C-alpha cells in the first residue's frame, strides 16, 4: 500500500525566508503525489502534483516540489515566504484511486 | 475550472435529528466523489467513495447506516448524517474527480457540523 510521511507537524518561518516542507512516500508502484494547502475552516486547494513527467513540479503561489526517487521524497519549497502562506499543508499519494494523506504540517509565518 | 461546492457551509442541529450535506461539481462531471471527515488539527479521514449510479463504498469502521451517501448524478453527491449525536460533530469535506483513478481530486470548502 502507498503512504506518505510528513516530517514536522509545525514549521515556523520568517517572512521572506525559504519554506521547506518535507514529505517522504512509500509506494510499490510509480506514485502519483500531491501537495494540498488548507486555510482555516476551508477545504483543500491543490498546490501541485507529480504524475511521472518532469521531476521538478511547479505549482501555484510560487511553490514547487521535486520528486526524488532515490530518496523517496517529494519535498515542497518556496523561495520566499509570504504572510499569506500561513496554513496547513498536506502531502498525499494516490493509492488505488484514493488519496492517502500525511498528517499535515502547520506553517506559521512571522514578520 | 474544477470547482466543487458544498452546502451548507455550517449547520447546527439537535441530537437525534438528521442532516443532509450536498456536494456539487460545478464545471465538470464527477464520476467519483469522496467524503472525508476532519477532526481539529488532524488530517483528513476518508469515510466513503461513491461512483455515480452505484452504491457507496465505505471505509472500515464507518457506519453505512449512519452516514448515508447518494450519488444520483454526475454533479451531485449527498451525505446524510442520520440520528446525529454530539460525537458526529466534525468538519466534513467532499472531493470529486472525473475519469481515471489517478486523476486529481478537487475539494469542496467543507461543512462544519455541530450537534447539540
Percentage of chain B beyond pLDDT 70 is 97
- B105 to A99: CB separation less than 8 angstroms, yes or no: yes
Instruction: Compute the CA torsion angle A101, B73, B102, B80 (nearest 10 deg).
Output: 10
* pLDDT: which is higher, B86 or B40: B86
Q: What is the pLDDT of residue A91?
A: 97
- For Cα atoms B3, B4, B9, give the angle at the middle one, nearest 5 degrees: 130
B98 — pLDDT class (breaks 50, 70, 90) = confident
Which parts of chain A register pLDDT below 50?
Answer: none
Pick among A4, A8, A29, A44 to test the B interface (most B CBs inside 10 A)? A44
H helix or E strand, kind and range, residue A75: strand A73-78
Q: What is the pLDDT of residue B54?
A: 85
Q: What is the pLDDT of residue A97?
A: 86
User: Residues B63-72: pLDDT tens digits?
Assistant: 999 999 998 8
- Nearest CB among B43, B95, B102 relative to A94 is that of B102
User: Residues A69-78: pLDDT tens digits?
Assistant: 999 999 999 9
- B43 to A101: CB separation less than 8 angstroms, yes or no: yes
B101 — pLDDT class (breaks 50, 70, 90) = low
Nearest to A79 by CA among A93, A58, A50, A106: A58
Q: In angstroms, rounded to a whole number, what is the distance separating the alpha carbons of residues A81 and A14?
A: 7
Q: Are A44 and B96 in contact (CB under 8 A)?
A: no
B109: chain A residues, CB-CB within 8 Å: 42-43
User: Residues A47-56: pLDDT tens digits?
Assistant: 999 988 789 9
Lowest mean pLDDT among A46-50, B80-84, B99-103: B99-103
Q: What is the pLDDT of residue B99?
A: 75
User: Residues B1-33: pLDDT tens digits?
Assistant: 689 999 999 999 999 999 999 999 999 999 899
Q: What is the pLDDT of residue B1?
A: 66
User: Residues A77-88: pLDDT tens digits?
Assistant: 999 999 999 999
Q: What is the pLDDT of residue B103?
A: 80
Q: What is the pLDDT of residue B15?
A: 97
Q: What is the DSSP string of A4-62?
A: EEEE-SEEEEETTS-EEEEEEEE-SS---EEEEEE-TTS-EEEEEEE-SS-SEEE-GGG
Amino acid at each position: 500500500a502507498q503512504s506518505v510521511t510528513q516530517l514536522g507537524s509545525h514549521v515556523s518561518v520568517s517572512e521572506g525566508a525559504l519554506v521547506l516542507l518535507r514529505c517522504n512516500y512509500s509506494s510499490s508502484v510509480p506514485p502519483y503525489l500531491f501537495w494540498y494547502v488548507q486555510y482555516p475552516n476551508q477545504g483543500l486547494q491543490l498546490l501541485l502534483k507529480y504524475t511521472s513527467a518532469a521531476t521538478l513540479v511547479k505549482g501555484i503561489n510560487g511553490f514547487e516540489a521535486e520528486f526524488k526517487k532515490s530518496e523517496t521524497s517529494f519535498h515542497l519549497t518556496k523561495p520566499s515566504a509570504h504572510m499569506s502562506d500561513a496554513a496547513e499543508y498536506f502531502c498525499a499519494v494516490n493509492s488505488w484511486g484514493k488519496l492517502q494523506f500525511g498528517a499535515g504540517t502547520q506553517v506559521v509565518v512571522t514578520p | 475550472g474544477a470547482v466543487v461546492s458544498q452546502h451548507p457551509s455550517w449547520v447546527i442541529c439537535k441530537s437525534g435529528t438528521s442532516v443532509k450535506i450536498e456536494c456539487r461539481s460545478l464545471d465538470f462531471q464527477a464520476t467519483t466523489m469522496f467524503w472525508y471527515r476532519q477532526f481539529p488539527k488532524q488530517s483528513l479521514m476518508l469515510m466513503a467513495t461513491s461512483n455515480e449510479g452505484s452504491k457507496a463504498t465505505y471505509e472500515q469502521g464507518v457506519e453505512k447506516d449512519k452516514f448515508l451517501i447518494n450519488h444520483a448524478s454526475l454533479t451531485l453527491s449527498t451525505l446524510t448524517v442520520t440520528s446525529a449525536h454530539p460525537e458526529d460533530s466534525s468538519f466534513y469535506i467532499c472531493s470529486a474527480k472525473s475519469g481515471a483513478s489517478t486523476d486529481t481530486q478537487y475539494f469542496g470548502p467543507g461543512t462544519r457540523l455541530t450537534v447539540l
